[in-house]
């Protein structure tokens, strides 16, 4: 997910009661729901309140309806069915986590609604009309039925750890390995561990380069730190990567007389990831990045690669989220 990490730290400090509508007593083999009608799913569905940033209104949606449109907005519709299922479970888990965390009062940023439609704060959600406008009617006709199938076949399934819904962070591309949560955010979560992500070769953002003029580079740093000292005549010797995280991203980099986190440099120069190298040319500095996003949790392109290799959604989720249990909302078991 491209935006849910903005709420990560605040949710880590929230004490969750065991939700009465979640079953998490054991790891379960989730049955396929191919013979379950859409009407039957809706009869057992939950209602959630969603703040729409476009209309500035609070919508009341069925959970599975909301999840379907999140999956369509967050993951390429052309992805394998099992990858789309993994995304559906992650999106549903996030929604239930927010619902149990904030209840009817809603999130402080959008009172009255526990989730919203913006990827910068929650998960991206697009209406059917917005999806058609963004992708076209041919895309919608080709991929919408598969997205619906992915949601329906995992209806009610979420991920839990110690009988609580997890924080299901996800991102586009990890660059070969994901990151430990504490290396990117404030806290260590036992299920958000660095793991390999080897099947990302087809990601269009696996490797990227960005060139910054040397003077623009210096100006950007000076605008942040007035007391930074950089020798612009020998700037190559002024930049040193000091330490990397387990997943490969830059943990600490020295520039002049200052040390920065890799995530800070990513933000300052709008890089695609914190997994980068730095090359100094005559007039410009070139950042070469691997991956796209914060790098914690599920890599979407890695998930699709695993699906292409024959993994099902349960195997994908248990690879990227270590030690989790697949659990089911009680309303779906009646």
For residue 30, the 8-state DSSP code is P
Contact 159, 168 (CB under 8 A): yes
Q: So where are the chain's domains?
A: 4-201+295-332, 207-290
pTM beyond 0.85, yes or no: yes
Torsion of Cα atoms, 178 then 183 then 187 then 190, to 10°: 40
In order of 79, 99, 147, 170, 318, the CA distances from 48 in angstroms are 27, 8, 20, 22, 27
Instruction: Locate 26 and state its tokens.
Output: 């054991």
- The Cα–Cα gap between 263 and 245 comes to 11
List the alpha helices (DSSP H) in the chain: 8-12, 38-43, 63-74, 81-102, 128-135, 137-152, 214-224, 262-268, 300-308, 313-320
For residue 16, the 8-state DSSP code is P
Q: Which of 106, 258, 83 is nearest to 153 (CA)?
A: 83
The pLDDT value given to residue 45: 75
Q: Output the tens digit of pLDDT for each of the chain's 334 residues.
A: 544 544 444 444 343 444 445 554 445 444 444 555 656 556 557 899 999 999 999 999 999 999 999 999 999 999 999 999 999 999 999 999 999 999 889 899 999 999 999 988 899 999 999 999 999 999 999 999 999 999 999 999 999 999 999 999 999 999 999 999 999 998 999 999 999 999 999 999 999 999 999 999 999 999 999 999 998 888 999 999 999 999 999 999 999 999 999 999 999 999 999 999 999 999 999 999 999 999 999 999 999 999 999 999 999 999 999 999 999 998 775 5
The pLDDT value given to residue 233: 86
By DSSP bridging, strand 57-62 and strand 250-255 are unpaired
The pLDDT value given to residue 9: 42
């Amino acid at each position: 997910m491209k935006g849910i990490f903005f709420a990560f730290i605040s949710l880590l400090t929230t004490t969750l009661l065991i939700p009465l509508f979640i079953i998490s007593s054991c790891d379960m083999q989730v049955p396929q729901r191919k013979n379950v009608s859409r009407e039957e799913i809706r009869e057992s569905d939950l209602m959630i309140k969603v703040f729409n940033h476009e209309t500035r209104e609070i919508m009341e949606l069925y959970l599975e309806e909301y999840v379907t449109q999140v999956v369509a907005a967050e993951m390429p519709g052309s992805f394998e069915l099992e990858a789309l299922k993994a995304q559906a479970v992650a999106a549903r888990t996030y929604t239930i986590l927010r619902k149990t965390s904030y209840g009817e009062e809603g999130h402080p940023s959008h009172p009255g609604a526990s989730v919203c439609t913006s990827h910068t704060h929650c998960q991206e959600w697009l209406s059917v009309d917005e999806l058609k406008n963004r992708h076209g009617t041919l895309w919608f006709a080709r991929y919408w039925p598969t997205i619906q199938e992915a949601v329906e076949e995992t209806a009610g399934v979420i991920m839990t750890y110690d009988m609580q819904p997890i924080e299901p962070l996800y991102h586009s591309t990890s660059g070969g390995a994901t990151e430990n949560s504490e290396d990117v955010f404030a806290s260590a979560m036992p299920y958000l561990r660095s793991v390999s992500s080897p099947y990302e070769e087809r990601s269009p953002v696996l490797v990227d380069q960005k060139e910054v003029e040397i003077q623009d580079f210096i100006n950007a740093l000076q605008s942040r730190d007035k007391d930074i000292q950089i020798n612009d005549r020998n700037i190559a010797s002024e930049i040193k990567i000091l330490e990397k995280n387990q997943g490969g991203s830059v943990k600490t980099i020295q520039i002049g007389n200052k040390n920065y986190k890799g995530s800070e440099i990513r933000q300052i120069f709008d890089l695609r990831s914190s997994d980068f190298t730095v090359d100094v040319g005559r007039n410009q500095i070139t950042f070469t990045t691997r991956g796209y996003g914060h790098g914690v949790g599920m890599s979407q392109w890695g998930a699709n690669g695993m699906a292409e290799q024959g993994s099902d959604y349960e195997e994908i989720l248990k690879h990227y989220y270590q030690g989790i249990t697949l659990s089911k909302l009680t309303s779906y078991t009646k």
